[in-house]
Amino acid sequence: MNAPLRLTYREACRQALRDALSADPRTFVMGEDVGHYGGCYGVTKGLLEEFGAQRIIDTPLAENGFTGIGVGAALAGLRPIVEIMTCNFSLLALDQIMNNAATLPHMTGGQFAVPLVIRMATGGGRQLAAQHSHSLEGWYAHIPGLKVAVPGTVEDARHMLAAALADPNPVLIFEHIVLYNVEGELDPDVQAVDLQHARVRREGRDVTLVTYGNSLPKCLQAATELVAQGIEAEVVDLRMLRPLDMETVLASVSRTRRVVIVDEGWKSGSVSAEIAARLAEDALYELDAPVRRVCGREVPVPYALHLEAAALPSVPDIVSAVREIVPVRG
């Protein structure tokens, strides 16, 4: 067994891109500032010098235009990786993503595939204000024809891209801005991950914490703090929002009989709302307490540091939600 490697989430994303570009000459990266600047978050730094301007392409500030080019390139047999600077700006490309990428395989009766990968930064926590800090991955999880990946670990950041490129359908990968600087261990013996299944990141018996992305480390920290209070929390990392692996969630909730869903997106119409509804439909009698949700506040994410912190889910918020539904032992 090889010794684990330690690297940042950003480095894991860059290694994934480098491997994809080296493995397949049809693959190219396209987006704003991905070339000379090295990407707004430094993920593509050095790739222009390594692979050249025909494969690392700086685009104008025109999300709908260059995303449409990505759709066309995928239809023509290439393997484009489109980077959208922040998920807020992806709304400018929503027509191409929903009305073309997600629907053309179905509208053509399967005659055309759209093997397009779109990477974008998501989430708050870096004081980038409302136009750069929202979590909109739940909106895209609403759209049939798309797959929505939310890597919350270095391992998933390293390997999800290869799985996405191998998929004949469009895959959106949401990378949380706070995770880019986070270090983690990468097992060199793990060479692939799937785009189908959630994972239990920590086992427990008293309550299930269902989460994804940057809320994963918050839930793991909350679970550690809850141990001192005699509460053993199980942490389920969704990893994919579409398809949504409810089997893993239901299996965990059936064991713990209590659940807190942690989702940085707004509570109304969110991923947390969908999971809560499915639990009500399929596991109501497995629950010994009401479902609790910890979500982003229903406001545009503020710029001020203390207000931004108050608007996003926190470890104390998660601990408090658990304490509301888990009885005190002893």
Strand partners, 261: 210, 293
Q: How far apart are CA 92 and CA 199, in angstroms?
A: 33
Cis peptide before 25 (omega within 30 of 0): no
Cβ contact 191:284 at 8 Å: no
Question: For this structure, is 132 an active site residue?
Answer: yes
Q: Which of 11, 32, 83, 132 is catalytic?
A: 132
Q: Which of 65, 66, 64 is nearest to 31 (CA)?
A: 66
Q: Which of 11, 32, 63, 264 is catalytic?
A: 63
Nearby residues of 140 by Cβ (< 8 Å), 6 or more positions away: 97, 146, 148, 172, 241, 242
Bin 28: left if φ > 0, else alpha if -120 < ψ < 50, else beta: beta
Question: For this structure, is 36 an active site residue?
Answer: no
Residue 89 neighbours by CB distance under 10 Å: 16
Q: How far apart are CA 223 and CA 219, in angstroms?
A: 6
CA distances from 74 to 67, 103, 114, 118 (A): 11, 14, 5, 12
Q: How far apart are CA 234 and CA 204, in angstroms?
A: 4
What residues are labeled active site?
63, 132
